[in-house]
Amino acid sequence: MDGANGRSGDGGRTGGRLYAPKHQNFGQARGPEISGFDDGPYHARRQRYSRKNRIPLPQSDATARTFLRHSSVKVASVATAFPAGLIPAKLKLREVRSAVRDGADEIDMVINRANFLAGEYERVFDEIAATREACGAARLKVILETGELQTYDNVRLASEVAMRAGADFIKTSTRKISPAATMPMTLVMLEAIRDYFYETGIRIGMKPAGGIRTAKEALAYLVLVKETLGDVWLTPDLFRFGASTLLNDVLMQLVKVVDASYQSADYFSLP
C-alpha cells in the first residue's frame, strides 16, 4: 500500500510553563485542524505540533490570508451554506468561487442530507462534482453529517458518492449535530476509503470532527486509521482531526511532559 501512487495530494514559556493566547477571531465558524505528524509551526503559538488549517467563514477568507501570509498554515473555508447546505446550488458555487478568489487553499462543503435521505443520490453527486470544479486548484473536503444519515449503510453510500464525485477528503460532521464523530461511523468511512483505493489507486483523506476531546481518545482513532489504512495515511495530507477542544488537551499533555504536572485549562485558548 505504501508504494501506490494516488491523489492526495519551541513555544513561548513563562516561568517554565507553556502558554497559548486566545484565538485570533476571523469570524470563525469552526475550529482548527490538527495532526500530530507534522512539526510545522502555527503563526502565533509556535508550539511543537502541526495546526494544519485555519477555518474561517467565507467572508473572512481575505483577512485570514493576510494574517497567515508569512505562515505555512493553509486557509480552509467553509462554504456551500455551512452547516445546513440549504441554499440554491448556484449560490453555493458562487460562494465557493469567491472563497477561492480570496485565498482559500481548501473548501469544506456539506452535502444536502435531505436530498440524500430522499434517495436523490445523483443530485448529491452532481452538486459535489460542480463544487469540485468550482474549487479549481483548492482541495475539497466533503462533510457527510453522519449524525443525520441514520444508518451505517447510508454513511457508506454517502462516502462513496463523495469520493466518486471528486472529494479530496471526507469528513464526519459539522460538529453542529449530535452524534458527531464516533468510532463506528469513522470505521465505515475508513473502510470505504480503503476499498476505493483498492479499486482506483486514489488516496482520499479522512477527517473525524466533533466529540474527540482528549489526546487519549485521539490515540484510539489513530490506531483505527493505522489498522484499516496503514501508516501511509498517518500524515496531515490524508488524516486530520477537528481540534477545537482536542487542541487544548494536546497542549496540556505537552506541558505535563515538561513540568510533570497538569496546568489549568485557563492557561490555554478557549475552544
Nearest to 107 by CA among 122, 127, 88: 127
- 237 is a catalytic site residue: no
**CA-to-CA distance for 106 and 132, rounded, in angstroms?**
11
Nearest to 137 by CA among 97, 196, 197: 97
**CA-to-CA distance for 188 and 247, rounded, in angstroms?**
25
**CA-to-CA distance for 148 and 267, rounded, in angstroms?**
36
* Catalytic residue selected from 61, 102, 108, 249: 108
* Catalytic residue selected from 74, 92, 141, 171: 171
57: cell is: 467563514
Q: What is the helix (H) or strand (E) element at residue 190, kind and residue range?
A: helix 183-200
**CA-to-CA distance for 173 and 134, rounded, in angstroms?**
22
CB neighbour list of residue 129: distance below 8 Å, 6 or more residues apart: 165, 166
**CA-to-CA distance for 239 and 206, rounded, in angstroms?**
5
**CA-to-CA distance for 215 and 220, rounded, in angstroms?**
9
* Catalytic residue selected from 102, 168, 207, 249: 207
**CA-to-CA distance for 255 and 258, rounded, in angstroms?**
5
Contact in structure between 135 and 104 (CB atoms under 8 Å): no
Single-letter amino acid code for the residue at 259: D
- 108 is a catalytic site residue: yes
- Residue showing cell 484565538: 23
Active-site residue list: 108, 171, 207
